[in-house]
Amino acid sequence: MERRKEERHVVPEIYGKYITFKVRKVFGDFVDAELFNFTPNGIRIKSRYELPFDSIIECMVSVPKSLTKQIFFTGKIKYCIQEEPMGNYLIGVEIIGTSDKVWFDLFSKVHDFIKGRIGEIF
């Protein structure tokens, strides 16, 4: 049953070359992850790394060809499910804070612009 009240923005695989997304635990380096979808309050990602339930992570998203700014926000892991033995993890994250809400909201607008143009580009 769907519990989200906001529109979920799906991030098609082809966007991968346009969107950079990375995560890190409280300490350590950022590692690549794949952004599947997002709402103003949460994201769904795929990662090679398991992230424990209820742990806090820092996320970074950017659209290097459209925006020069990296957007940082923090999230809390709501679930982490391994796709298959020795496979990647599907992870649900609740967004709990952002350092710059204006830029975070702008990312949504750029996503919508890319989505609207994707048929014309490809």
Q: Class for domain 9-114, per CATH?
A: mainly beta
Check residue 53 and report its DSSP letter.
T
| Pairwise CA distance, residues 65 & 46, whole Å | 22
Contacts of 120 (CB under 8 A, 6+ apart): none
Token pair belonging to 105: 């909201």
Q: Is the pLDDT of residue 116 over 70?
A: no
- In degrees, rounded to 5, the angle at the alpha carbon of residue 77 between the alpha carbons of residues 75 and 83 is 130
Residue spans per domain, the chain: 9-114
| pTM: predicted TM-score of the whole model, two decimal places | 0.77
**Tens digits of residue pLDDT in 13-53:** 777 777 888 999 767 889 999 988 888 788 999 999 999 99
Q: What is the pLDDT of residue 98?
A: 82
